Amino acid sequence: MTVNSAATWTPCRPTVSAMVSSPPWRWLAASLLFWLAGTVSGAQPVAGNNTPEEETVARTEHFRVPFFTVRNRTGSNDAENYFGGKRDRLRAGYCEISGKPVPVLQSLSEEVPFYVPEDILSLDKVTEKPVKPFWQAFRQSTGKRAPVLYTHGFYISFDRGCRRAAEFQRNLKREGSLVLFSWPSDGVIVNYTQDEADMYWSVKPLKALIDDYFRHFGAGRANLVAHSLGTRGLLLALVRLAAEQSGKASASPLFNQLVFIAPDIDAGIFRQYLPVIKPLARNITVYVSEHDSPLAISAQLHGYPRLGQAGAHLDGLTGIDIIDVSAVPVQYPSGHLYHLYNKPVINDLEQLLNRNLAASQRMNLVRSNNRWQLRPAEKVTGSADSTRGGKK
């Protein structure tokens, strides 16, 4: 990481070995040491009569994340290890998450030009429910909102998947209307090829889950969102669904928004399948970046550019919204988790999923050929209207 005088930093393109030896918490630890060395004055005592411990308890947030999973039960009563990385049948339930504030991190987050969490999320409890009653409960908690089915990516244990889904749910203010699909990723960074195999195995149960999702919420209402390697499973599940729908008359698309975030998909293969899946959704959005290090590594491993990388391989893809977030400062070392930790991207997703706004209606998007460039608000000049669907 290189910090310059303008308080921005430039991400590098790490090798696989560098990614393995430099997990994100090392970046955070280094930043914390730098801050403690004198960048910011010491933390102030908590105001009021409460002890720091009592204040932490009082300010702890609690989240409930609905989930479906095809992971194995481990037999452990420990929430973090309740489900493992082996393949199994479909199960449903709730992740109970707590977010404990850390004052020293809250102070640090205001001083550094990249993302620092203000609280630490932990998985406290896993509660299983029978699948059929779970669907009924999820329909009730969703109410009139369009639900979101979120599929996680590579290197995600069940514990991490729940915590990241909680972060995504919190960002979008989606409690009760977002459900996680957790496929059996090992949660081990060097097991990429095994995760690929598990994702391919998960396509069939994911497709069956999407069938149920459609049956419970009806045509044109539900949203499908996936990240990283999870987008590959979603794409293949939709290809299977499209084959079944071929020749059937439909008054409207089956789904509302279909969103691929940092997709780890061969761009050429996506181009082949796009005409097949396009009729299934009212709108398809793909988020891409030129600063995504894991996708750069995936491109090296596979020999072809990934759909989530910005570049010439996206030329000619029409009929979908390609949102290029390259102009937004990287907030997390990998450049791969911008949907969780980058406010401009979060704001754009909120407008898309919660308000159902087209790219031409959303703030801070500038049209460039067949793409939309997402800009930091201060970088977009002109009248307020010029930030909505403006052209270069």
> In what helix (H) or strand (E) does residue 19 lie, and over which residues does it extend?
helix 16-21
Asked whether residue 26 carries a pLDDT value surpassing 60, the answer given is: no
Structure tokens belonging to residue 299: 């491109």
Report, as an integer, the average pLDDT of 209-225: 96
Neighbour-count burial for 71-92, b at 16+ CB within 10 Å, e otherwise: bbeeeeeebbebbbbeeeeebb
Which are the contacts of 189, defined by CB distance < 8 A and separation ≥ 6? 19, 20, 23, 155
What percentage of the chain carries pLDDT values higher than 90?
73
182, 183, 188, 189: CA torsion to nearest 10: -90
Mean pLDDT value across residues 74-86:
98
Range with lowest mean pLDDT among 88-97, 121-130, 143-152, 324-333: 324-333
Q: CA torsion sign, 116 to 119 to 124 to 127?
A: negative
Q: Is the pLDDT of residue 64 over 80?
A: yes
pLDDT confidence tier of residue 45, bands split at 50, 70 and 90: very low
Q: How far is CA 191 from CA 14, 181, 205, 242, in A?
A: 17, 20, 22, 31
What's the half-sphere exposure (Cβ side, CA atoms, 13 Å) at 22? 17
Kindly report whether the global pTM for this prediction surpasses the value 0.75. Answer: yes
Residue closest to 169 by CA, chosen among 149, 191, 153 = 149
Please tell me what DSSP assigns to residue 45: P
DSSP label at 88? E
Q: What span, in angstroms and rounded, lies between the C-alpha atoms of 241 and 259?
A: 17
Nearest-Å Rg of the Cα atoms of the chain is 21
Strands 83-101 and 119-129: antiparallel
Structure-token match 């699909």, residue found: 181
Say if strands 61-73 and 83-101 run parallel, antiparallel, or are unpaired.
Answer: antiparallel
For the stretch 252-293, pLDDT in tens is 899 999 999 999 999 999 999 999 999 999 999 999 999 999
Lowest mean pLDDT among 39-43, 106-110, 129-133, 290-294: 39-43
What is the overall mean pLDDT for the chain?
86
pLDDT band at 117 (very low <50, low <70, confident <90, very high): confident
Burial of residue 132, with CB atoms counted within 10 A of its CB: 0-12 exposed, 13-18 middle, 19 or more buried: exposed
CB neighbours of residue 59 within 10 Å: 14
